[in-house]
Structure 1
Amino acid sequence: MPSLRTLLVLSLSLALPALSPPAVSAPAAPPADALLTLLVTRGGAPAAALLAQGETGPRYAEAGQGIGRRDHFRAGSITKTFVATVVLQLAEEGRLSLSDSVEEHLPGLVRGAGNDGRALTLRSLLTHTSGLRDFSADTRGTVPVTPLQAVRIALTHPPAARGRFSYSNTNYVLLGLVVEQVTGRSYADEAERRIIAPLRLTGTSFPGSRTSLPRPHGRSYSSDGTDVTRLDPRVAGAAGELVTTLADLDRFYAALLGGELLPPRRLREMLRTRTAHGSYGMGLFPLKLPCGTTVWGHNGRISGSYVRTAATVDGRRVLTFRVNTDALADPGLEPAVLAAEFCPRTHLNDRASNGDPASRHPFE
């Protein structure tokens, strides 16, 4: 398999002809907008859309049929950024500590097959260094489960090496349970109260067991073309159930990185990747682009939907793109779109940096 670095360089070099100046009578499309079409023609998505926010205001583009600017869609693991933000707010309020053991909040729950909640901290859950098995590796993201069922599935397997980065949806299911234990309210209610309502994210919700999407929405397709628009969100729970819009995601990440949701020391903690050896902060991960710019954000994959949000560290520039399927045939297109948005054109032919290990890990 070619490396992500090779794929990025190849994607950018192949995309450059599409960026050639049009006739003088029409302004050139921004590079990321021009690359959006490739998510359909080479990525195999039925449709794609992006919404960028910067100093000049919002910019929207779409490609393919059946997708719209105000559509609601499933955002998968972008849910983790919301959950991590709630946990860090609770830490700032002194209602929990990131050094607390899982056992302190969920006594007796994490036991079995060599797993032990007494030896795991909330920080290890946030940074994916707990070693807990990803329950969705067994359910394949198709079986609705309760949080306790998800944890029990994970605990039938021995853990990976503790302290080593190993992405696991089980970590955030447990964090959802911790939030409920500490506050007496669900993680969804806490996120609504602390994030969604204050930021007026009117298109964002935690659907629970509701299988339909709010209107307006388009259709969603699995990688084999099956229509999966209706989906039970309990396949993901606190690890990936969020429903949202392009505008809401741009607003959320701009507010988070701009310091509206966390005090500076907690935001710095969220961005610190040392615990996960450069791969992950807490509900966010970095990607170093060929021009040297590092963007922060998350991606989300759930049946019928793939979403990626990236922003500058100050939140002043944000890009969210989505496709209405859960797989892209060309994995190099994602970093190509981000580089086209956040790097000057003069850097588009630069070789991809070895960068942080996060760029080499799948985030489901």
Structure 2
Amino acid sequence: MPPLRTLLALPVSLALLGLIPAGSMAPAPPASDSVLSQFVTRGKAPAAALLAHEESASRFAHAETATTTDGTSGANVRPGNAIRLADHFRAGSITKTFIATVVLQLAAEHRLSLSDSVDAHLPGLVRGAANDGRTPTLRALLTHTSGLADFTAETSGTVPVTPVQAVHIALTHTPSERGRFAYSNTNYVLLGMIVEQVTGRSYAAEAERRVITPLRLTGTSFPGARRSLPDPHGRAYATDGSDVTELDPRVAGAAGELVTTLGDLNRFYAALLRGDLLPPRQLREMLNTRTAHGSYGMGLYPVELPCGTTVWGHNGRISGSYVRTAATVPHSQLRSSGDTPMSGGTPIGPRVLTFRVNTDAIADPDLEPALLAAEFCPRTP
């Protein structure tokens, strides 16, 4: 197949599947669905999709271009790269929310403390170029305030590495100012190693046991070294148009390995933010941005929209995929005790939106905030 940038784009198609409560009139298409179509025009993505959830209603929309295989208008036309609701895809740094959830569960169980130094669990590993594992704490790793360099600045997120190799790459660089927010994938690679050190099981096994299985996230997995995506799935493209559907997840590890679906991400973030996965104290820690000076909590970050609404979530970028989840926090539904059984049923409470494109770059950076505002801000008459 020729690179997508050489194919002739035909008009964008936009499809909408709404699950409307019985007896209701079908509403006008939401403004966010109109913004979605711009991801394949202004944003230059082959295809885009969103899944929105609020209480008992879900809405799925997708947009894609049609392309010709010979560069001539109307000849040999085939659909572009439509994204289906059930498709599996790589979620990149959304993995960090899962890892942070596991770490905070372990803190709630008193199996570790967020005040522990890295050295307390991985003695002697973080040394070199003025790095010292006796200084950064687990809290600093979770909030990206450790000062540790990002190993992917060297690998560009395309070279498979072991966790130890990733850390050693980072340690060839002097740390940035400790206590200042500086996003670094190395932080979450270390957290994955610490989960294994504390529990005797891999971060993937712990996430599956503690999050994926209880919530029945049947489309979510940590693939390890498996290069292929589970069926069903579409294609994934790098920014130059090359097909990167096959990818070794060890390019990201605990910082971005996850494979999932739109529905699973909405279910996960709804359960997390309504208090099903963490006791109130740990959920408050997760949503506390003071350590990172307002930029980041723990595996989550807030965005205040123009209408004053704040949404919480994370984005994920890995070769061939960009995904973003955002949700409101239902403070009234946060539990008053840590005894909060998890439910495998339909999430209630938070309003959640996940959107994705099947490439790792969006040409117009204004589209993401426009989509979030269109979804979460009330329309003016």
Q: So what's the TM-score if we normalise by structure 1? A: 0.88
SS at structure 2 position matched to 1:118: coil
- Which residue does 1:31 correspond to in 2? 31
| Matching residue within 330, 336, 356 for 2:370 | 336
Match of 2:46 in 1: 46
Q: Secondary structure at the match of 2:188?
A: helix
RMSD across aligned positions (CA): 1.2
- Per-residue CA distance 1:282-304 (angstroms, 9 max, x = gap): 00000000000000000000000
Give the Å deviation of 1:196: 0.1
| Aligned mates of 1:230, 1:325 — CA distance in 2 | 13
- Could you tell me how far 1:28 is from its partner in structure 2? 2.4
Residue number among 257, 262, 265 corresponding to 1:241 in the alignment: 257
1:311 to 312, 322, 327: 327
Aligned residue for 1:89? 105
Task: Please give the secondary structure, in 2, of the residue aligned with 1:290.
Answer: coil
1:274-293 residue pairs with structure 2 within 5 A? 274-293=290-309
Q: What do residues 49-93 of structure 1 show as CA deviations (whole Å, max 9, x unaligned)?
A: 000000351100000032111000000000000000000000000
Say if 2:216 is the partner of 1:182: no
The yes-or-no answer on 1:133 pairing with 2:167 is no
Q: Select which of 324, 333, 354 maps to 2:358.
A: 324
Trace 1:1-364 onto structure 2 (pairs within 5 A). Answer: 27-64=27-64, 65-66=80-81, 67-314=83-330, 316-346=350-380
Write 1 or 2 for the structure with the bigger share of helix: 1
Q: 3-state SS of the aligned residue for 1:177? A: helix
Which stretch shows the higher mean deviation, 76-85 or 28-37?
A: 28-37
TM-superposition CA deviations, 1:93-130 (whole Å, max 9, x none): 00000000000000000000000000110000000000
Instruction: Tell me the amino acid that sits aligned with residue 301 of structure 2.
Output: F
1:157-181 C-alpha deviation (Å, 9 max, x unpaired): 0000000000000000000000000
Which shifted more, 88-97 or 61-70? 61-70
Where structure 1 has 5 or more consecutive residues not aligned to the other structure, the ranges are: 1-24, 348-364
Provide the secondary structure at the position in 2 that maps to 1:98: coil
Residue identity matched to 1:245: T
SS class of match (2:354): strand
Question: Which digits, 9 at most, give the CA deviation of each residue in 1:177-222, with x for residues without a partner?
Answer: 0000000000000000000000000000000000000000000000
Any idea what SS the aligned residue of 2:32 has? Answer: helix
Q: For the pair shown, which has the larger CA radius of gyration, 1 or 2?
A: 2
CA positional deviation for 1:316: 1.5
Single out whichever of 129-138 and 61-70 deviates more from structure 2: 61-70
How far off is 1:34 after superposition? Answer: 1.2
Taking the aligned partners of 1:56 and 1:335, their CA distance within structure 2 comes to: 25
What residue number does 1:10 align with?
none
Give CA deviations for 1:230-275 in whole Å, capped at 9, x if unaligned.
Answer: 0000000000000000000000000000100001111001000000
- Deviating more after overlay: 281-290 vs 60-69: 60-69
Q: Secondary structure at the match of 2:356?
A: strand
CA distance in 2, matches of 1:145, 1:247: 30
Task: Tell me, in whole angstroms, the C-alpha distance in 1 between the residues paired with 2:210 and 2:30.
Answer: 35
Instruction: Give the 4+ runs in structure 1 shifted more than 4 A.
Output: none
